[in-house]
Amino acid sequence: MALDRLKSVAQHVTGTSPPPHPFDPLSNQEIESAVSVIRAAKGKLFYNAVTLREPPKKEMLKWLESPSTLPRPTRIADIVAIAPGGKVFDGLVDLNAGKIVKWEQMEGVQPLITMEDLQIVEHVVRKDPKVIEQCVISGIPADEMHKVYCDPWTIGYDHRFGSDVRLQQALMYYRPHIDDSQYSFPLDFCPIFDADKQEIIHIDIPEVRRPVSKAKPNNYHAASIEAEGGYRTDIKPINITQPEGVSFKVEGRVIEWQNWSVHVGFNYKEGIVLNNITYNDHGNIRPIFYRLSLAEMVVPYGNPEHPHQRKHAFDLGEYGGGYMTNSLSLGCDCKGAIHYMDAAFVNRAGESTTIKNAICIHEEDSGILFKHTDFRDDSVVVTRGRKLIVSHIFTAANYEYCVYWIFHQDGTVQLEIKLTGILNTYAMLPGEDTKGWGTEVYPGVNAHNHQHLFCLRIDPNIDGPDNTVFQVDAAQGAGYVGSKENPYGNAFYAKRTKYSKVSEAISDYDGVTSRTWDMCNTNKLNPHSHKPVSYKLVSREVPRLLPKEGSLVWKRAGFARHAVHVTKYDDDQILPAGRHVPQTSGEPSRGIPEWIANGDASIDNTDIVLWHTFGITHFPAPEDFPVMPAEPMTLLLRPRNFFLRNPALDVPPSYCSTPSQILEGKQALDLKDKASKLVVVGGSGDASAQGASCCQK
Amino acid sequence: MALDRLKSVAQHVTGTSPPPHPFDPLSNQEIESAVSVIRAAKGKLFYNAVTLREPPKKEMLKWLESPSTLPRPTRIADIVAIAPGGKVFDGLVDLNAGKIVKWEQMEGVQPLITMEDLQIVEHVVRKDPKVIEQCVISGIPADEMHKVYCDPWTIGYDHRFGSDVRLQQALMYYRPHIDDSQYSFPLDFCPIFDADKQEIIHIDIPEVRRPVSKAKPNNYHAASIEAEGGYRTDIKPINITQPEGVSFKVEGRVIEWQNWSVHVGFNYKEGIVLNNITYNDHGNIRPIFYRLSLAEMVVPYGNPEHPHQRKHAFDLGEYGGGYMTNSLSLGCDCKGAIHYMDAAFVNRAGESTTIKNAICIHEEDSGILFKHTDFRDDSVVVTRGRKLIVSHIFTAANYEYCVYWIFHQDGTVQLEIKLTGILNTYAMLPGEDTKGWGTEVYPGVNAHNHQHLFCLRIDPNIDGPDNTVFQVDAAQGAGYVGSKENPYGNAFYAKRTKYSKVSEAISDYDGVTSRTWDMCNTNKLNPHSHKPVSYKLVSREVPRLLPKEGSLVWKRAGFARHAVHVTKYDDDQILPAGRHVPQTSGEPSRGIPEWIANGDASIDNTDIVLWHTFGITHFPAPEDFPVMPAEPMTLLLRPRNFFLRNPALDVPPSYCSTPSQILEGKQALDLKDKASKLVVVGGSGDASAQGASCCQK
Ligand SMILES: [Co+2]
Ligand SMILES: [Co+2]
């Protein structure tokens, strides 16, 4: 330990640091190295992204088997840059060799919109005479343009403008006062911004005009709450502490916890990326997932009137879940004993930047892990569970997405997403009919129907990379009631359908059969059940894509057409709506529709990727406004036939007694939590927790 | 306060106590009073149940409007008793008057099986010569009958024996050692026990015999874990404390918390019953639910071979979720600052008994309640949520059900159920084919497929008792892509279908449309949205009943045929499979099928009850054995168009800054949690939480 400290100090002093893990995101230093290599060769460029190009999986799997003896895979930077005039370049830089290994000008594509890109639009909009004219028509005096705001979105796709010019659509709002929530004062017109010329090239103006609302502001900030009677005063603190430290270990970006090991990566598009997830099964390190990430999402809005069809943000591919990530705060976003990781990015000028505390890692109690009481003698085991949570939060203009990757002691990996933030809103006239396409959540505020559809990319590695997916449906047994095979009519079973080729794997959710999907290693059977070792995808929030077949959203968000697609693994297939999403026309559809074009490709017992689209359909209500209480959705990846038995049996119980102990009056195992207290209820009805700890029943 | 204490002491000394709330369960004293009234009139009886007969709703609604001026509704005890010889009596005793108001002999019904009923069977089985003979055939020496155990279940229904004789089926097991888990050693035959005669009247013996397994025991108790290497030592404690007390108030059994008020009742069948749930909306006490409970459940098993069709336990109606409830332990079942409530029951002899700590009430942090960051200037609000949890756990022979009623600050009521405990198991021969009806979870152990189907009884009171249910389906807009009404094909809306009469309300879940159900008060529109105030049932774990139409389970568990039924309110309609469930033949089907017989009855804008069946289909795996990690399922009751806006805006934020504060460098509102700590990662990779609190980003 003393020696370790010394080494750590030495590193600090000499400035040397251990070489990065091949999955580590590029460091600030590596980002700047990559930029300097490009700059030397290519001159002045605006940088859109400099990120890790992950090592080829084949090479990486080999390295993971013997990391101490094999050479580390080369560090490659993946670069997207835009030249003055708007030319887009994709490049790769070998950081070990310090040289460009690929440099390609991309035609007819637009890379994502960065925060810097976004910030410019509002300034331009406020000075544009045609926008000012529209503001005046909306009822905003020309000298109040500083009160006009916009949420710039990529244009999505508009056939009038195509893909060659980099465009944003400015969703317009007004703030009577700088601190007022602008979403209560939407404006009815939509300027189009040319990112290269930095000017407004068009304004979409509706036929029916809707002047800015005269309603009073609808705020949630402290001053407004104070003015309405103040904050409630009856919430007593809950303290969550770990006086002996946390139960996880951190080695670089590898977290070890409760037999789990996972490398926590991060990139500008997907945000958190979990790699090389393994489970130490009694000394046997078993691979489970090579890579897990939220790889894309789309938020189609359901109002058919022009230009609302353009509202269908791909928040990851068009803006970047990493780029939009929040710097998290202790005691605010995160409660308990917290380990943070930062995120390094490039800015437009090519300098490296850092988002502090981009990722939060912490443990939580998770209630009862298992319990059983023998009704004969009350002999009992009760064991509490624990979970490890790796999370980040990103702000996509009005919305916030809180992403929680949760590891459980029973071998389950859970993905939970909470939606909060503010509804996207549009202007409406007093008494106007929303026609069912939205809800008047506040006078003059129409919150349109929309879906939040996420694409989870699962790269399974269930005891090795050769895996097979089976669809599992709960099915009634054959035979009528009274038949020989089903005399009582009660027979039912898990109907398993193997996905042998890509075309068979294009599948939807079926609530009637409680459909799940098993990712199996068919080469390895569970010794007890004689079934293939597997992880089961259990996901119940799986709406269909509501925009119709052939619609713009349907064409652009090909991944969202079905709940599950399975493809053969390919190093280049990470982003299911394609690498450059803004202004894609959907003709042809990028990403998954391309990758499943050959429906006959085998996905049987080979290296595969499962793409799962899930989410919610959101019909707004006044309760969601002016800021929305978090709406949770969740899915599970559960071990089935993977372990020989419940893998958490050796988690220390809170209490464990056996029949013989009870019979013989012997001491049971009592490891109860000593910090818990009984509430003392006073005569006045007030309840406090000052009583002594008590474990008597 | 001093005066209050004095009063409380005085009550203790004099033995007077405030009169019970009309929803309060019967006290021990009341139970004994009821028994003494019956005993005086009817002589010796075995008591099956003495429980509160809840006041007529009409009378109770009136009383709730003016509890201080109106007389309390009469306390009525509802009694089920069995006379020697097996005659069953239903009775009512007016406790205020001390007299019997109803006494009826019931023909052809059997009341539920109590824990006392269960306990007897094992003793009888061990001494029965025919059972001993079968044990010997199974490979158990006759002198090892003390190692033979049984889980007695009601017989369900077996046409050979009918309903007149009170019967149990004994699911047989063996324990090599008293502390071994018997579920690894199932026996293949099934004795039938006559509860009146207290003897075995029949044994069901399969054609194919399966001797008791020779596998080594598969245990989870401390000694077995120690023998396998011991408990893991790397879990550091998490302490959850409330140094200033809890945020709820307790007045008798009425809990007040965060604008919520709820009366927490309990009975022997349903367990927790929540009554008169209201929300204080800025001084306006708004009723939401008159009554919420889990009112029934059924667990059909899917193996078609005789006699497994009899395995379809109605755990509430046949055994009682209250009767089987656990006495909870501080620091074991419950963590943090805990308030307990006890449960009072009658025993067979007519004495009152108490289960200490039957109900746990506590608060938990629930993560981010809402958050929004303005991307322009990082002005932000982040507010953490809190939840109140009212829970109990019951043990149904092998299984445990943990029931959590959760109240949220945003007006949501959540029901979460965790399944744990042990799989019901049956014997199998080495190498035997399960034929897909079960899984070999351990050598010689066949865990059959089964479903856990719960029936949630919702008695809505959405701003008053006259409510209407609408089915809500996410639907595509009319018109092809390119049509005038849907030019871009993106139109979608919430299709609402009103349930005007009982026959229209018989409905299934639809995963494709993400179907939900709104309980509305159509007489009251939300001032902003102009839609009826409502609570929405959001439930995604809704498998269909897999036993076929016409099967025994289908006939007996009529409530489970559909996800939703709606009935007009009736004081007598509480238990959806009927009042006395054991040995019902399903001809006719009791409960809901009777109550929906008149399909034309109006359920439009009247006092209604919504019955919701949900749950999971469980295909066992070795991970579920020898004790199953808790499997969660959940559903939400969410306010929609009920509140004018997010009702939690006045929850104190952790941090709140505004654009003007940021612009002017002014102090933001900073109420962050001070107990949270940064983890310090040592050079060795060990992580501890000894760092100072830090809220800097
Ligand atoms: Co939404
Ligand atoms: Co089960």
pLDDT in tens, B163-189: 999 999 999 999 999 999 999 999 999
Do the Cβ atoms of B493 and B486 come closer than 8 Å?
Answer: no
Chain A residues near residue B481 by CB distance under 8 angstroms: 548-551
The single residue of B78, B128, B180, B315 carrying the catalytic annotation is B315
Q: Is B476 on the interface with A (CB under 8 A)?
A: yes
Closest-CA residue in chain B for A324? B375
End-to-end alpha-carbon separation of chain B, Å? 44
Chain A residues near residue B508 by CB distance under 8 angstroms: 512
Distance B158 CA to ligand 2 centre (A): 23
Chain A residues near residue B621 by CB distance under 8 angstroms: 526, 529, 531, 639-641
Angstrom CA distances, B423 to A201, A645, B173, B419, stand at: 67, 12, 13, 10
Chain B residues near residue A651 by CB distance under 8 angstroms: 231-232, 235
Please name which of A553, A309, A548, A556 lies closest in space to residue B477, comparing C-alpha atoms: A548
Chain A residues near residue B337 by CB distance under 8 angstroms: 676-679, 689
The secondary element (H helix, E strand) that includes residue B442 is strand B438-442
The pLDDT value given to residue A694:
36
Q: How far is B433 from chain A (nearest CA, A)?
A: 10
**Residue pointed to by tokens 């796709």:** A157
**Residue numbers of chain A with a pLDDT score lower than 50:** 1-14, 690-697
| A58-97 residues touching B, CB cutoff 8 A | none
Chain B residues near residue A118 by CB distance under 8 angstroms: 375
The pLDDT value given to residue A456:
98
Do the Cβ atoms of A302 and A424 come closer than 8 Å?
Answer: no
The pLDDT value given to residue A682:
62
Within 10 Å of residue A165's Cβ, how many Cβ atoms?
Answer: 16
Nearest to A652 among B220, B231, B440 (CB): B231
Share of chain A residues as helix, strand and coil, in percent rounded to the nearest 5: 15, 40, 45
Q: How far is A671 from chain B (nearest CA, A)?
A: 8
Q: How far is A539 from chain B (nearest CA, A)?
A: 9
Provide the CA A132 distance to its chain's centre, in angstroms. Answer: 38
**Angstrom distance (rounded) from CA A194 to CA A165:** 7
Nearest to A245 among B222, B375, B689 (CB): B689
φ, ψ of residue B10 in degrees (nearest 5): -55, -45
3-state SS record for A593-648: HHHCCCCCCECCCEEEEEEEEEEEEECCCHHHCCCEEEEEEEEEEEEECCCCCCCC
| Domain A250-295+322-368+385-420+456-479+491-617+636-640 coded CATH 2.60.40.1220 | no
Chosen from A333, A492, A548, A616 to mutate, greatest number of chain B CBs within 10 A: A492
Amino acid at A441: V
The single residue of A315, A459, A463, A624 carrying the catalytic annotation is A315
Nearest to B400 among A326, A372, A540 (CB): A372
φ, ψ of residue B17 in degrees (nearest 5): -145, 160
Nearest to A248 among B393, B687, B693 (CB): B687
- Say yes or no for a CB contact (<8 Å) between B491 and A240: no
Residue B600, burial from CB neighbour count under 10 angstroms (0-12, 13-18, 19+): exposed
Nearest to A222 among B8, B232, B669 (CB): B669
Token readout for B396 is 């149904």
Angle of helix A129-137 relative to helix A115-127, nearest 10 degrees, comes to 70
The pLDDT value given to residue B657:
97
The single residue of A174, A268, A279, A399 carrying the catalytic annotation is A399
Distance A281 CA to ligand 2 centre (A): 25
| Domain B2-106 coded CATH 3.20.20.60 | no
Closest-CA residue in chain B for A150? B376
What single DSSP character describes residue A501?
A: B
Distance B636 CA to ligand 2 centre (A): 22
- The pocket of ion ligand 2, defined by CB under 5 A, consists of B 618
Q: Is B333 on the interface with A (CB under 8 A)?
A: yes
Q: Prior bond to A71 cis, omega within 30?
A: no
Please name which of B435, B166, B443, B203 lies closest in space to residue B307, comparing C-alpha atoms: B203
Contacts of residue B543, Cβ cutoff 8 Å, sequence gap at least 6: A474, A512, A513, A514, B451, B453, B615, B616, B617
Please name which of A72, A112, A61 lies closest in space to residue A94, comparing C-alpha atoms: A72
Please name which of A575, A552, A656, A648 lies closest in space to residue A54, comparing C-alpha atoms: A575
The second-level CATH assignment, the architecture, of B249-367+384-422+450-479+488-618+627-640 is Distorted Sandwich (2.70)
Please name which of B407, B370, B245, B258 lies closest in space to residue A332, comparing C-alpha atoms: B370
B636-667 burial: b if 16+ Cβ within 10 Å, else e: bbbbbbbbbbbbbbbbbbbbbbbbebbeeeee
Domain with CATH 3.10.450.40 in chain B: 2-106, 115-221
Q: Is A640 on the interface with B (CB under 8 A)?
A: yes
**Angstrom distance (rounded) from CA A492 to CA B191:** 25
Token readout for B89 is 């009596």
Token readout for A239 is 């303290």
Q: Is B327 on the interface with A (CB under 8 A)?
A: yes
Contacts of residue A484, Cβ cutoff 8 Å, sequence gap at least 6: none
Q: Is B669 on the interface with A (CB under 8 A)?
A: yes
Q: Is B201 on the interface with A (CB under 8 A)?
A: no
Q: Which ligand is the nearest neighbour of the Cα of B630?
A: 2
Do the Cβ atoms of B298 and B453 come closer than 8 Å?
Answer: yes
CATH number, domain B115-221 = 3.10.450.40
The pLDDT value given to residue B59:
97
- Say yes or no for a CB contact (<8 Å) between B402 and A622: no
Q: How many interface pairs between A and B have CB atoms less than 8 angstroms apart?
A: 692
Calculate ∠ Cα A643-A648-A650, nearest 5°.
Answer: 120
Chain A residues near residue B5 by CB distance under 8 angstroms: 682-683
**Angstrom distance (rounded) from CA A631 to CA B321:** 31
Contacts of residue B629, Cβ cutoff 8 Å, sequence gap at least 6: A369, A370, A385, A408, A409, A410, A412, A646, A648, B420, B623
Q: Which DSSP string corresponds to A358-388?
A: EEEEEEEEEEEEEEEE-TTT--EEEEEEEEE
Within A240-314, residue ranges assigned H as helices are none
| A556-585 residues touching B, CB cutoff 8 A | none
CATH number, domain A22-106 = 3.10.450.40
Q: Which ligand is the nearest neighbour of the Cα of A620?
A: 1
Please say if B78 is a catalytic residue.
no
- Say yes or no for a CB contact (<8 Å) between B548 and A621: no
Domain with CATH 2.70.98.20 in chain A: 250-295+322-368+385-420+456-479+491-617+636-640
Length of chain B, in residues: 697
Closest-CA residue in chain B for A694? B330
The pLDDT value given to residue B697:
39
The pLDDT value given to residue A178:
98
Angle of helix B129-138 relative to helix B115-127, nearest 10 degrees, comes to 70
- Say yes or no for a CB contact (<8 Å) between A230 and B650: yes
**Residue pointed to by tokens 């200037």:** B377
Closest-CA residue in chain B for A553? B490
Please say if B399 is a catalytic residue.
yes
Do the Cβ atoms of A331 and B674 come closer than 8 Å?
Answer: yes
Closest-CA residue in chain A for B377? A119
Q: Is B695 on the interface with A (CB under 8 A)?
A: yes
Domain with CATH 3.10.450.40 in chain A: 22-106
**Angstrom distance (rounded) from CA B48 to CA A488:** 31
**Angstrom distance (rounded) from CA A649 to CA A40:** 59
Q: Which ligand is the nearest neighbour of the Cα of B448?
A: 2
Token readout for B423 is 């799989």
The pLDDT value given to residue A3:
37
**Angstrom distance (rounded) from CA A216 to CA A58:** 61
Q: Is B525 on the interface with A (CB under 8 A)?
A: no
The pLDDT value given to residue B533:
98
Q: Prior bond to A67 cis, omega within 30?
A: no
Chain A residues near residue B335 by CB distance under 8 angstroms: 365, 367, 384, 673, 676
Q: Is B283 on the interface with A (CB under 8 A)?
A: no
Chain A residues near residue B329 by CB distance under 8 angstroms: 382, 654-655, 672, 695, 697
ipTM of the complex as predicted:
0.96
Domain with CATH 2.70.98.20 in chain B: 249-367+384-422+450-479+488-618+627-640
**Residue numbers of chain B with a pLDDT score lower than 70:** 1-16, 682-697
What single DSSP character describes residue A89?
A: E
The pLDDT value given to residue B527:
98
The pLDDT value given to residue A431:
87
The single residue of B173, B268, B399, B404 carrying the catalytic annotation is B399
The pLDDT value given to residue A85:
86
Chain B residues near residue A364 by CB distance under 8 angstroms: 238
Q: Is A481 on the interface with B (CB under 8 A)?
A: yes
Do the Cβ atoms of A550 and B481 come closer than 8 Å?
Answer: yes
Nearest to B629 among A249, A370, A689 (CB): A370
